[in-house]
Structure 1
Amino acid sequence: MTNVRLNNFVVQELIPAALYQHRGDKAIECMDLRIVKALDLLRDNMRVLGVDNGFIVNNWHLGGTRQFSGLRTPASTDYSPSSQHTFGRAIDFITKTPIADIHRQIIDNPSVYTEITFIEIDIHWCHIDCRVNSDGSALTLWSPKRGVVSIEQYRAELMVK
């Protein structure tokens, strides 16, 4: 194992199968550690709150079909040369925990999740990444249906959920 310490995940959960088979645990070097640490912290904090129902990023190593929800290589049908996944800066995960609860945790605690700078909303999974936002904002919320949504507007929507 590399010196990267993961409390809640193994390297295979963040890396596609072929890359892991090629590099083993050193494949974690292809991920931006800001998003890896943020994911680990988020999972720890959801557990402390008593609302952790597991986060599934990649599960190929357990016989599942998910392998491109962390680092995304050209082997993925969802590959894009400009995706944050391509640079190891984004993670998608599914969970039984309501996504609204996870979003609320991040939005209400900006000093805790300083590395999470982008959240995709209005989707049935959780997408977080650590890009540098071109407008200088600390956190951008983006919807494939609505475009950029203000934190205030989304916080009000979360109050209803």
Structure 2
Amino acid sequence: MKLKLRNFITQEFVPRLVYQRRGDAAIECMDNRILNAVDLLRDNLRSLGYDNGFTINNWHINGNRQYCGLRTPESEDYSVTSQHTFGRALDVITKTPLEVVHLHIIDNPYIYSGIKFIEIDISWLHIDCRQNNDGSELKLWSPTRGFISVEQYRAELKKA
């Protein structure tokens, strides 16, 4: 069954070289769980009145982002253990406040069951579909605070 993305094209998920070699078949390098989750997330945020776009990779329109989906060794941010390396992570820029996006995901775990990890306290949206080794449905991690419980972060967001 062919994946049908409503809001994105293949180039937004893979670097230039991968797209040049594989064309639209390069989408096979990405995990369907994260593709479906980001497509659904954008649709749902639009329906809530937040249509500020999502930018993942923009190299195909002469932008400077090409490793925000699949990350290959050519990227200075490449890591053999990164979820990006396996096509399971996305870094998204949006004008929608990240607190709104995070709370929407946290409050709708059944809708976004493909999102298993969110990085917080950063200026972009990082989501991925890793298999959490402790069986957690969703983990939140901050580069400054470490792991934060969903309940604690939800309370922080609702206060803001």
What TM-score bracket applies, with the shorter chain setting the length? over 0.9
- Aligned partners of 1:52, 1:130: CA distance in 2, in Å? 24
Secondary structure in 1 matching 2:101? helix
TM-score if structure 1 supplies the norm length? 0.98
Structure 1 partner of 2:47 = 48
* Offset at residue 17 of structure 1 (A): 0.4
- Aligned partners of 1:52, 1:78: CA distance in 2, in Å? 29
Secondary structure in 2 matching 1:86? helix
| 1:39 aligned onto 2:68 | no
Identity %: 64
Equivalent position amino acid for 1:9 in 2: F
Deviation by residue 1:51-81 (Cα, 9 ceiling, x = unmatched): 1200000000000000000000000000000
| 1:26 aligned onto 2:25 | yes
Structure 2 partner of 1:100 = 99
- Aligned partners of 1:95, 1:6: CA distance in 2, in Å? 18
Equivalent position amino acid for 1:19 in 2: V
In the TM superposition, 1:67-86 aligns within 5 A as: 67-86=66-85
Structure 1 partner of 2:128 = 129
Equivalent position amino acid for 1:138 in 2: E
Q: Quote the RMSD (CA, aligned, Å).
A: 0.9
Equivalent position amino acid for 2:14 in 1: I
Secondary structure in 1 matching 2:74? coil
* Offset at residue 32 of structure 1 (A): 0.4
Any stretches of 5+ residues in structure 2 without a counterpart?
none
TM-score if structure 2 supplies the norm length? 0.98
Deviation by residue 1:15-58 (Cα, 9 ceiling, x = unmatched): 00000000000000000010000000000000000112000000
Runs of 4+ aligned structure 1 residues displaced above 6 Å come to: none
